[in-house]
Amino acid sequence: MHQKPKPHFLNNIFNSNDFNKEELEAILPKFKQKAFKKNSFLLEQGKAANEYWFVESGFIRSFVLDIKGNDITTNFYSVDDIVIDWPSFFLRNPTRENIQALTDCVCWQLDFDTFQKLFHSIESFREQGRTTLVKSYFNLKSHNISMIADQAKERYENLLKENPLIIQNVSLKHIATYLGITDTSLSRIRKEISSE
């Protein structure tokens, strides 16, 4: 008995409700599968982003160095997420962020020139790109406002609700910097929540 071939991972990203068969045949082969070892960099500060990635497995974070040289997490990425430095990718500028694998990861990579060709030739690819950009912007805006307007405990609870896998798989040190608090404060908040 023949086993049905396993669907391509990117079918989760580019699904047949939004893309026809010919479009999928034009898009999917353009992505290259790429493995990253734990702690390796997908992008380093000072370099221009020439690729973006979809995460098939593993965990990734972006971070910047503050004026004292501490690394502060700006975002986390896990399965199905797009890992991209939007301004660096589109404006071709050196990035101020680092993007680093927190675990061994498997990603699907697309370079800038190939992206441009697909973007200008396939309308549904263009539409999906716009939707992804808008969603990323909303998430960033929401996080920025939360850092100002919410208590640390609320910020932690929101992350727990929206992305429990991050809480389970990422070090508390990175989560604390993302939430704008110390490790000690985060430990206290976690104790409070578990005793409620």
For 27, 106, 108, 117, the CA distances from 186, given in Å and listed in that order, are: 43, 30, 33, 45
Going by the DSSP 8-state scheme, the letter that residue 71 receives in this structure is E
pLDDT tens digits for the chain (196 residues)? 556 667 789 998 998 888 999 999 999 999 999 999 999 999 999 999 999 999 999 999 999 999 999 999 999 999 999 999 999 999 999 999 999 999 999 999 999 999 999 999 999 999 999 999 999 999 999 999 999 999 999 999 999 999 999 999 999 999 999 999 999 999 999 999 888 8
CB 150 within 8 A of CB 117: no
Q: List strand residue ranges (DSSP E) for the chain, in order.
A: 32-36, 41-43, 51-57, 60-65, 71-77, 82-83, 98-101, 105-111
Place of tokens 């699904």: 15
CB 175 within 8 A of CB 166: yes
Angle between the N-to-C axes of helices 183-195 and 152-162, in degrees from 0 to 180, rounded to the nearest 10: 70
